[in-house]
Every structure is written in structure tokens, then in C-alpha cells.
Amino acid sequence: MSYIGRFAPSPSGSLHFGSLIAALGSYLRAHSLSGQWLVRMEDIDPPREIVGASDDILRTLEAYGLRWHGSVLYQSKRSQAYQDCIEQLLINNQAYFCQCTRKMIHAMGGVYDGRCGSGLKSYSSGAIRVRNAAKVNHFHDINRGDIHVEQAFAAEDFIIKRSDGLFAYQLAVVLDDAFQGITEVVRGSDLLEASCRQLSLFDMLNVPAPAWLHLPLACAKPGFKLSKQNYAPAIDIKAPQQSLNAALTFLGQATVDVDHIDVMLTQAISQFSLADVPKQAEIILPQTA
């Protein structure tokens, strides 16, 4: 099977250095294996999105020479596919409505105990949770090795549609990875645990799961990753060479001493070494970064 990877940003702000790590890492991995690199816009959470951010992200990728194959997939155009899946899960008794609040779940110890799916009560509104039969609690990550998560987290019936009517990330990402034929997911280590829930859903839907490769997170301080929510500064699109070399260094790769961005990427692809990618969960950036 030919390699198909992807970069899937959310349009909640401009790309920052942490975003560049994920984009460049997935791009280099795909091209080093002569595969395809797709871009998906995860725009299913309007309250968190910023007008114009999708176009800004795409312009930034182009400025960095990170050109994608095919058309950009917008999750906002996939609502019917998500709803069709949910309705089938409800029909098959593989999902159910839940009216538990965050306060109630906190009182349960922070992990939902499945009470709304126990059969004692049956709701017809609220959030929709998948009846987690697979309970996947471990997987092999190509960069990090064998990953295990707490059984309570792995066994939880997680939300696939929110009570406000918005589709949950866990459902959308699984359906879209399957739809696009993604063979390997390269992304930040903050999503390690989420991989188990996604694997459970792949199993329930009887769909082949991709391989996983998680990269270290760029952090300003321990446990504080660069993110749009933390107001990480946007990367420079007018002079991308410095940021690109900084990202290569972060990923354990040799820098490229040329000015033309396309030549930089061609050389970076040719010398890409997965073995040199750091295996820790996070890397603290120098204060000057």
C-alpha cells in the first residue's frame, strides 16, 4: 500500500512554531517514503474558529513550500457522513444519549461511569456517547514505542457528538482518516492517549486503522505547549528559512544552508532520518525561540 499521510490543523489561529513541527514532520515522513501528503482543515468547532484562519494557514504552508496533494478536505463539509455514522451506531445500540454534566462526571472521579448506557434510563437528547466495546488501552508508536494508557480512560464511553450539536473530534478524525485512506498519522504527543480512543472506534467500525508516529511537543515550559489557545506567535511567512531550520533542528535533523525554500525541502527530504527524531514527549524551547 502506498503511503498517505496528512496534516490536520484547526482554523483557530495562525500557524505557530509548534504547528510547523507537526506540519514539517508529517511532510518529511511522507515525502521520504515517496508518499502523498494531504491537508485537512478541522473546522467543526465554530466557537473556537477565527474568520480567515483557514486561508491564512494554507498561505503559510505555501510560503514554507509545504504543498499538499489533491484538494484540502474541510470537515465542515462532512457533516452528513458523521451524522450517518452516528445514526447507524444508535440503531446498532453501539451509542446512546447521555445527559451527564461535567459536574456530575467530576463527582464520578473524573471518568464517566457509563450510567446513561446501563439500560436503567434511556434518553432521546443530550450528548451522544459511543458504547466502547473495544476498550483499546495500548498500541505501538513508531517513534515512541509501546504506549499504554490507564484502563479507566481506555474503557470510558466517550462522546462522539456534543450536547450543543457539534460533532466530536474523535468521531470526525476516525471517519476522515478512513475516508482519505491515511496509512500513518504523524502528529504531536499531546494526542497519544487519544489514539487509543480512535483505535477503539476504528475497531467498532471495522475499518483498518493507520499506523501512529507521535512527535515531541514544543513547549515554553514543562507541560505548557505552544498553542493557539496560549497565544503562541505566528511564524514568519516572509522569511521562512530560519523557522524551517529551527524546526529541522527540533526534529533532530540536519539544517540546510541554502536560501531557496524548495531546495531546502528537497535536501531535507533526502537526508530525513526517523531514527534521529527525539523520542521524549516534549522539548523546552530556549527563551529566545
Assess if residue 46 is contained within a domain: yes
Q: CA–CA distance from 91 to each of 12, 86, 119, 130 (Å)?
A: 34, 9, 15, 12
Same domain, 65 and 83: no
Nearest-CA neighbor of 279 among 180, 144, 177? 144
What single-letter amino acid sits at 273?
S
Asked if the model's pLDDT at residue 209 lies above 50, the reply is: yes
User: Do residue 84 and residue 59 come from a single domain?
Assistant: no
Letter string b/e over residues 226-254, b meaning 16 or more CB atoms within 10 A of that residue's CB: bbbeeebeebebeebbebbbbbbebbebe
Top pLDDT among 226 and 123 is at 123
Q: Note whether residue 117 is domain-resident.
A: yes
Are 239 and 220 contained in the same domain? yes
Give the C-alpha separation, 8 to 173, whole Å.
9
Known binding-site residue numbers for ATP: 228
Cβ neighbours, 10 Å, residue 214: 24
Going by pLDDT thresholds of 50, 70 and 90, the confidence category of residue 122 is confident
Let me know if residue 20 belongs to a domain: yes
Q: Which residues line the annotated binding site for Zn(2+)? A: 98, 100, 112, 116
The CATH number assigned to the domain holding 262 equals: 3.40.50.620
Do residues 162 and 239 both lie within one domain?
Answer: no
Q: What is the DSSP letter of 126?
A: S
Strand, coil or helix: 6: strand
Q: Same domain for 103 and 48?
A: no
State the average pLDDT over residues 149-159.
95
Residues 103 and 84 in one domain: yes
pLDDT at 106: 93
Q: Are residues 43 and 32 in the same domain?
A: yes
Measured between its terminal Cα atoms, the distance across the chain in Å is 39
Number of domains in the chain: 2
The range of the structural domain enclosing residue 90 comes to: 79-169
Tallying the residues shown for the chain, one arrives at 289
Residue range 46-80, pLDDT digits in tens: 999 999 999 999 999 999 999 999 999 999 999 99
pLDDT of 287 strictly over 90: no
In this predicted structure, what is the pLDDT of residue 289? 40
Instruction: Note the pLDDT tens digit of each residue in 223-264.
Output: 667 765 554 778 989 889 999 999 999 999 999 999 899 999
Residue where a domain stops, chosen among 169, 202, 218: 169
Binding positions for L-glutamate: 6-10, 42, 169, 187
pLDDT at 119 over 60: yes
Residues belonging to the binding site are 6-10, 42, 98, 100, 112, 116, 169, 187, 228
- The candidate with the shortest Cα–Cα distance to 213, out of 277, 261, 259, is 277
- 28/90 same-domain check: no
Alpha-carbon radius of gyration of the chain: 20
How does DSSP classify residue 220? Answer: E
